[in-house]
Structure 1
Amino acid sequence: MSVPRPIDQPTHRPHLNSSRLAMPLPVLLALLCALHAPASSASTATYSLSPGQSLAGDDKLVSSGGKFALGFIQIPGSDSNPSGSGGNSTQLGIWFSLNRVPKLTLVWVANRGGSPVAGAASPELTISGDGNLVIVDRGKVAWSTRADVTANNNNNNRTVLLLLDTGNLVLRSASNASDVMWQSFDHPTDTLLPGATIGLDKVTGRSRRLVSRKNRIDQAPGAYSMELGRSGVVQMLWDASVPYWSSGEWNGDYFSSVPEMTARHLIGSTFVNDDREVSFAYHLLDETITMYSFLDVSGQRKMLVWQDATRDWVTVYVHPTTQCEVHAVCGPFTACDDSAPAPCSCMKGFSVGSPEDWDLDDRSTSGCRRNTQLNCASISNGTMVGMADMFYAMPAVRLPYNPHSAAGYVASAAECEQVCLSNCSCTAYSFGSGGCSMWHGGLLNVKQRQIDGASSSGDGEILHIRLAAKEFRTRKNNSVVIILVAIGAGLNALVILVLVVVLRRTRRNKRYSETLDKIHGGSGLVSFRYSDLRRATRDFSEKIGAGGFGSVFKGSLNDSTTIAVKRLYGCYQQEKQFRAEVSSIGILHHTNLVKMVGFCCEGDKKLLVYEHMPNSSLDAHLFRSSAKALNWRTRYQIALGVARGLAYLHESCLDYIIHCDIKPQNILLDALFVPKIADFGMAKLLTRDFSRVMTTTRGTIGYLAPEWISGVAITPKVDVYGYGMVLLEIISGRMNANEECGSSGDGIVYFPIQMARKLLEGNVMSFVDDRLNGDVIVDEVERACKVACWCIQDREFERPTMGKVVQILEGLVEVDTPPMPKLLEAIAGRSHSACT
């Protein structure tokens, strides 16, 4: 495995030599959806790249006027990451210089349709032997301009790459500026900069169009595109085939549907439509302003201008003007309402398909999915088994996209319903003046129409959505309560007292019912009352764990849902622990993170409620002699699951989260031995504007990275170190901090070095837990040992990211033999001497 470059190299003066172009790049690990980055502290006039030079790591090209920068940038949590792990990927991109626009704004990326570069190895941008611009990753060409350079320039050594002040990346002859072999303006992504064109070459058929990105993070092509066709009209398309907006014809000054083009006197336009091409470009009338246009993830084309006073982008105009006019913007089985704060919502009987996608503004991909499957398939010999499906009437809507007319004559709404009900693929119908219309599959483009802020059946059509009969069941009324309320006024004080008792019990049951609905529906944290938790835990009678900040008790709610309740103690630490856990884990949802159900905060009573893990913590299975030994397959899946959970915390959250105390005691196992990272009381939140943070030493001896002891600012790599120690313990079944020789206290942290030596000797099998009796997969053992040794390297930048660890353990990336961790080797040497 190649050693990763440190992410916090000091800024240095750029210099140019025969082998490398070295320039500073501000730390660009900020999440792209936040688009915040610190202003660059240094500027440079170096804006070209010649043969023999390369751009890598934190190097960058800056345009001559300092408007734009080019370099490699990390894309956190990108779905296009070839590993599929959700870890960081690297792409070559152009953005507005942070000196001009101190809010990271990408305007172009290379290799958009392919796989981004992923891995600890640093990719390089260089000019190849044939004169093309290439990205080389681990010795292989990951991307190339593929221009016919030799036909235009016989001397490839004179080819030069320049980043112009227009934001155009140009590969041309060094001696002839008009001899352009390739330029980024011919290959736009989602952004149209001033001076760039969209259009169609009528001779070759080549089109220059904009394509939205997949979501706020992922730069891969999305569902929406904008193009200028032969008719001379700009169209926006969904899935490259369904038009949903048109600019109208060019009238000599502007497109007829876009009068805003001239209203603000900010831009001038150039429109060409002849035998060779049809094209459109715009230019700034005031060169002091910073402006650009792009096709947003939402499917809307937006024109923005930078405002120094607010240090933010300001919208000039948007098309289409309303979100609900964008085709399929909310995805299947949704309704769009432009008057609502959040325009997209799920239809009755449906829930959000992928909350992760929705959080990143990609709703069109997953939309909503059924809560209960239809019963249509339950037909035997023509007889329905169970209850038939039913229909929910949704009034005042714009009907979905792509309706189908019912075969034959349908005279009434009841007949239309029966026709739909008899077809298992029919998901909705509508009966009106146009007859019987039906829809199959996902329902797209349903828009909720509003009158005076309320839905009205008098405006729009009525859509009948097919649902399982179970969706129409309602809770039975509490007849006892109704009778008692009706006769309560005529009863004496005793009856009134009974009524009060009944009502209190009913409210308590209702509160429990609502609480259970929240727990099982995943609708957020539940605020418990202390008395409820005391009752659920039988007055905190069954203690199942304890830590430095409190004890954990097993409890049960009314529906037999088992919970774990952590009761915190210690005044200051109690408050600190409570805030740390709620703020870090309370809003997270991941298979390998323990789920927080809710909390209680009443005065000095601070309690946290989690899902219960029936198989306790990992240390109980690794270190207790009475426990049944975990087999190798289970151990490997636990190691992979913990790595995925940490990768999510480090690379996919809105704010980076450093756990700070990774150890077997904080890894819980559910009924299927799926690992869940727990105990976030020491966690540290790191905003994406920063790559490291200063904090007091925290964690457990034996799992502490060297930087904790040295007192420097920490990064997520401290968790990587702790994970490496845990991985060694999973393999060996022994504690890394065990003392080998009595009470000397000098024998800790010995097994990691023992394993590292055996790894270098090619004898890792002797390090495997004896209880496994050799029943392991040798390749996985060697892979895990190598990963563990890379994770416990002394210098943090030599350790891999957790996203890289996931890729290696999944077998997607090969890993080299790591060097011996020198600091641990020295400690082990002293320990061995003391024991001798």
Structure 2
Amino acid sequence: MNGKHSLSVLSAAMILSHYCSAFFAAMILNMIILFVGCHSASASDTLFPGQSLSGSETLVSENGIFELGFFSPGGTKHYLGIRYKNIISNNPVNFWLGNRIPITNFLNATLYINASELYIEELGSVLWTSNSVGNGSGSGTAVAVLLNTGNFVVRDRLNSSVVRWQSFDHPADAMLPGGWLGLDLAIGSNILLTLQKPPYNCTLMIDQSRKRGFIMFIDGHDYLGTFPDWMVTYKENGSLLQLNDPEIPNDIEFMKLHLGQISFLRWLDNASISGWQPLWSYPSSCKVSAFHCGAFGICTSTGTCKCIDGFRPTEPNEWELGHFVSGCARISPLNCQGVVSTDSFVLLDNLQGLPDNPQYVMAATSEECRAACLSECYCAAYSYHSDCKIWYNMLLNLTSSDNPPYTKIYMRIGPQSKSRSNILVFILTFGLIAVALIVLMLLLIYKRSSCVSRQTKMEGFLAVYSYAQLKKATRNFSDKLGEGSFGSVFKGTVAGSTIVAVKKLKGLGHSEKQFHTEVRTVGMIRHTNLVRLLGFCIGRTKRLLVYEYMPNGSLDSHLFSESSIVLSWNLRYQIVIAIARGLAYLHDECRDCIIHCDIKPENILLDAELYPKIADFGMAKLLGREFSTALTTIRGTIGYLAPEWISGQAITHKADVYSFGVMLFEIISGRRTTEKMRYGNHRYFPLYAAAKVNEGDVLCLLDDRLEGNVSVEELDVACRVACWCIQDDEIHRPSMRQVIHMLEGIVPVECPPIPASFQNLMEGYDSDIYSVEV
């Protein structure tokens, strides 16, 4: 039975139900559904109860334009999505569903509907549900239909106007004509476009304060734009913005969020050229955002895009049509075979600033930096100017400049001609032999040292120092920066002029465990909000760690010291968001989920510009992605410990969220978690703060030294976020990614309840008792 016959029989049954008893009609419908369920879902636009979609099967819309199935953008993992059925392009367009949950073995994955709920299941495990809701009266069961608009809807099987769920309410990074963005009061959600392209995150949301206005967020930077009149229409009293249908019915158009650009595209296919032509885009020039030119594309001084030498447009047809975000591809593939790479480099010496997200590598010379890049197959470029930076996979946001000062990088391209490659192989081989001899001589010279003096790579590039080197670098450990339970930290200078912080651990035992934990965690990660581990020393009885130097010390010295400079509210708010970004990276973006376990102001360090970085990973817990919880001994600091630490329950990344919430109150108030109250007793400050947030009185929580110079709206959001973070049950706490979205205003923040444990503490006390002593 094909899709049209199925719908015809179903329609007849629906008509019959108006004239027959409910029981008789339901019996006929169930017989039809059972019959239809025995046939392949790929022949229809409808998924009935009892049917499933799996493997390469698809649903096809009645007009034949759209199909739904499990598709693979990169050839490995599959995702549930909708795409244009008959458009052949090297850069296919997919409208992702199912929260973009990756499916490793799509042949064992199924999509099915049960009552009114959609499910994705793989090998018996449910990966996603649609969380469908009731909407008006209906029969209680539903079908899922791929409409001619590309909207995939779950609707009542007898009354098609009763919609339980629809894909237009949950767009990913693209939307079709008829789709909408903004605050949908019916579902109580702010509909956004989001794009995740590590290490970047891009979000587009409607700006309710401006007509047709939108805000594009790219990793903390926001761009304000406006949609043209012809493209969108206001709905629901201006809270929703709907994308207009094409003026010509057969035209294929849609809106797409790229990294740093939003475009409205039309498919053009004729005898001379085919591809996606931009009818409108923002920004319209790469001079506003060089993300406009895509990977390995460079924005010239005239505002046009071109490819770096050794590269060509990935989609030449689309570049001719003015659509550049597909970027550029290598003309010659990289040589990742064998011990010695024959790849060459081309110099880019007129750049306006360096590309984003460099990775720092220990290298004493430009030649060592070049060799480090060649040793990594995915290294795309390097730069050396007092220190070594390399970039992996791709370069984005490149802009050339006609005016000095210039910055320069060396871009890796494919191998040179065979004769030159042979010469290069000979030179590199001879050089490696020479280096090996030099290293052997150094080993003999320093064999009496407590540590081996050499450079090595260990989960990334880390320098291995001798104890004598670090003793000399710190002037015999004379300039102490601070001291903790595991040891002392000293200021030092290595490699001529690089200032570092050297942590000297006390003895072995617990400090030995802390040493290995820090090397395993910090040594393998790089993030702008995490303190960078540069190297280490292992001797018979000595354990030392070498970190980048943070000249402004720890956050607690600026919050709680009367003699320190007063951090402004804007600076505190940016510090909070930056810390949240660092934690979100640890929890969600590393190979293993890393739980820091000791988030507090003492472990937040500030650089020369007062930019924060998370430090001290000695108590961190690595959690494999196949595990969501871990049983472990108590780690952390009293006052910042989540309740599950005390009760002995399994620990998740939400333990860090609790500590973050306590610290957020400290940043807001400039007070320790335990404050001296009016009657001389010591009480938990978050208890007082939670009560005031619940009463709506947040100004009384603000640090007196700020003298009321604050954005009340941001203060209210920060206090609410802090209260959500310190909820007793970790299920009620947000993730750090959700915390970022709340702080940045992407999602609204509801008024949180007072944690139950706090309410128990408050019973029997007058509210005045919780007034903080001035």
Deviation at 1:606, TM superposition (A): 1.2
Q: Distance in 2 between matches of 1:65 and 1:134?
A: 16
Higher relative contact order (CA 8 A, sep 6+): 1
Deviation at 1:328, TM superposition (A): 8.3
| Alpha carbons of structure 1 residues 213 and 346: separation in structure 2 relative to 1, 3 Å | farther
Whether 1:347 and 2:346 are equivalent positions in the alignment is yes
Within the candidate set 720, 744, 764, 1:810 is matched to 744
| Alpha carbons of structure 1 residues 230 and 561: separation in structure 2 relative to 1, 3 Å | closer
Mind listing any 5+ residue stretches in structure 1 that lack a counterpart?
1-43, 49-53, 76-88, 105-120, 136-142, 163-202, 241-296, 300-322, 379-385, 393-442, 458-499
The answer to whether the 8 A contact 1:664-1:726 is kept is yes
Aligned to 1:799: 733
Deviation at 1:778, TM superposition (A): 1.3
Does 565-574 or 725-734 show the bigger shift?
565-574
Q: Give per-residue Cα distances to partners, 1:757-811, cap 9 Å, x unaligned.
A: 1122221111211222222221111111111101101111111111111122222
Aligned to 1:728: 665
TM-score scaled by length of structure 1: 0.48
Q: Give per-residue Cα distances to partners, 1:635-663, cap 9 Å, x unaligned.
A: 22221221121112112222221111001
Is the partner of 2:754 in helix, strand or coil? Answer: coil
Aligned to 1:246: none
Whether 1:778 and 2:708 are equivalent positions in the alignment is no
Q: Give per-residue Cα distances to partners, 1:213-268, cap 9 Å, x unaligned.
A: 999xx9x999xxxx99889x9x998999xxxxxxxxxxxxxxxxxxxxxxxxxxxx
The answer to whether the 8 A contact 2:554-2:605 is kept is yes
Q: Distance in 2 between matches of 1:693 and 1:214?
A: 38
Deviation at 1:205, TM superposition (A): 6.7
Q: Distance in 1 between matches of 2:488 and 2:706?
A: 33
| Alpha carbons of structure 1 residues 803 and 766: separation in structure 2 relative to 1, 3 Å | same
Is the partner of 2:631 in helix, strand or coil? Answer: coil
Is the partner of 2:675 in helix, strand or coil? Answer: coil
Within the candidate set 521, 540, 556, 2:493 is matched to 556
Aligned to 1:825: 759
Whether 1:448 and 2:415 are equivalent positions in the alignment is yes
Q: Give per-residue Cα distances to partners, 1:44-76, cap 9 Å, x unaligned.
A: 99x99xxxxx99xxxx99827899999999x9x
**How do 1:335-414 and structure 2 match up within 5 A?**
336-341=332-337, 346-348=345-347, 353-354=355-356, 366=395, 377=403
Deviation at 1:331, TM superposition (A): 6.6
The answer to whether the 8 A contact 1:331-1:368 is kept is no
| Alpha carbons of structure 1 residues 731 and 368: separation in structure 2 relative to 1, 3 Å | closer
Aligned to 1:527: 464
Q: Output the amino acid matched with 1:366.
A: L
| Alpha carbons of structure 1 residues 102 and 687: separation in structure 2 relative to 1, 3 Å | farther
Whether 1:641 and 2:545 are equivalent positions in the alignment is no
Deviation at 1:666, TM superposition (A): 0.5
Deviation at 1:706, TM superposition (A): 0.9
Q: Output the amino acid matched with 1:347.
A: V
Q: Distance in 2 between matches of 1:830 and 1:814?
A: 34
Q: Give per-residue Cα distances to partners, 1:428-487, cap 9 Å, x unaligned.
A: xxxxxxxxxxxxxxx99x643553893589xxxxxxxxxxxxxxxxxxxxxxxxxxxxxx
Identity rate, percent: 38
Q: Output the amino acid matched with 1:771.
A: R
The answer to whether the 8 A contact 1:621-1:629 is kept is yes
| Alpha carbons of structure 1 residues 619 and 101: separation in structure 2 relative to 1, 3 Å | same
| Alpha carbons of structure 1 residues 364 and 530: separation in structure 2 relative to 1, 3 Å | closer
| Alpha carbons of structure 1 residues 627 and 742: separation in structure 2 relative to 1, 3 Å | farther
Aligned to 1:272: none
Aligned to 1:156: 160
| Alpha carbons of structure 1 residues 391 and 678: separation in structure 2 relative to 1, 3 Å | closer
The answer to whether the 8 A contact 2:502-2:546 is kept is yes
Does 707-716 or 731-740 show the bigger shift?
731-740
The answer to whether the 8 A contact 2:481-2:491 is kept is yes
Aligned to 1:596: 533
Aligned to 2:626: 689
Q: Output the amino acid matched with 1:599.
A: F
Q: Output the amino acid matched with 1:448.
A: P
Whether 1:608 and 2:534 are equivalent positions in the alignment is no
**How do 1:122-271 and structure 2 match up within 5 A?**
124-125=131-132, 145-146=150-151, 156=160
| Alpha carbons of structure 1 residues 608 and 742: separation in structure 2 relative to 1, 3 Å | farther
Is the partner of 1:581 in helix, strand or coil? Answer: helix
Is the partner of 2:527 in helix, strand or coil? Answer: coil
Deviation at 1:680, TM superposition (A): 0.5
Aligned to 1:10: none
Deviation at 1:161, TM superposition (A): 11
Within the candidate set 559, 566, 570, 1:629 is matched to 566
Query: What is the alpha-carbon root mean square deviation over aligned residues?
Result: 6.3
TM-score scaled by length of structure 2: 0.52
| Alpha carbons of structure 1 residues 71 and 662: separation in structure 2 relative to 1, 3 Å | farther
Q: Output the amino acid matched with 1:752.
A: P
Q: Give per-residue Cα distances to partners, 1:678-726, cap 9 Å, x unaligned.
A: 0000111122222222221111111011111122221111111000000
**How do 1:27-66 and structure 2 match up within 5 A?**
63=52
Is the partner of 2:517 in helix, strand or coil? Answer: helix
| Alpha carbons of structure 1 residues 603 and 765: separation in structure 2 relative to 1, 3 Å | same
Aligned to 1:698: 635
Is the partner of 2:519 in helix, strand or coil? Answer: helix
| Alpha carbons of structure 1 residues 768 and 549: separation in structure 2 relative to 1, 3 Å | same
| Alpha carbons of structure 1 residues 817 and 561: separation in structure 2 relative to 1, 3 Å | same
Is the partner of 2:690 in helix, strand or coil? Answer: helix
The answer to whether the 8 A contact 2:507-2:541 is kept is no
Is the partner of 1:571 in helix, strand or coil? Answer: coil
Does 646-655 or 675-684 show the bigger shift?
646-655
Within the candidate set 552, 556, 570, 1:619 is matched to 556
Q: Output the amino acid matched with 2:737.
A: G
How many residue pairs are counted as aligned between the two chains? 502
Q: Distance in 2 between matches of 1:663 and 1:391?
A: 38
Q: Give per-residue Cα distances to partners, 1:360-385, cap 9 Å, x unaligned.
A: 99978626969xx87x646xxxxxxx
Deviation at 1:353, TM superposition (A): 4.0
The answer to whether the 8 A contact 1:68-1:95 is kept is no
The answer to whether the 8 A contact 1:644-1:802 is kept is yes
Mind listing any 5+ residue stretches in structure 2 that lack a counterpart?
1-36, 42-46, 59-67, 74-95, 112-127, 167-247, 279-293, 297-309, 317-325, 360-376, 381-390, 425-440
Q: Distance in 1 between matches of 2:737 and 2:154?
A: 38
Q: Distance in 1 between matches of 2:131 and 2:463?
A: 50
Q: Give per-residue Cα distances to partners, 1:399-455, cap 9 Å, x unaligned.
A: xxxxxxxxxxxxxxxxxxxxxxxxxxxxxxxxxxxxxxxxxxxx99x6435538935
Aligned to 1:260: none
The answer to whether the 8 A contact 1:615-1:668 is kept is yes
Is the partner of 2:546 in helix, strand or coil? Answer: strand
Deviation at 1:160, TM superposition (A): 11
Deviation at 1:339, TM superposition (A): 3.8
Q: Distance in 2 between matches of 1:61 and 1:705?
A: 45
Aligned to 2:654: 717
| Alpha carbons of structure 1 residues 391 and 694: separation in structure 2 relative to 1, 3 Å | closer
Aligned to 1:768: 702
Q: Give per-residue Cα distances to partners, 1:527-555, cap 9 Å, x unaligned.
A: 22211110011111121111221111111
Within the candidate set 550, 554, 567, 2:504 is matched to 567
Q: Distance in 2 between matches of 1:343 and 1:830?
A: 77
Q: Output the amino acid matched with 1:63.
A: S
Q: Distance in 2 between matches of 1:574 and 1:805?
A: 33
Q: Output the amino acid matched with 2:573.
A: Y
| Alpha carbons of structure 1 residues 345 and 687: separation in structure 2 relative to 1, 3 Å | farther
**Greater Rg by CA:** 1
Q: Output the amino acid matched with 2:718.
A: A
The answer to whether the 8 A contact 2:53-2:110 is kept is no
Aligned to 1:672: 609
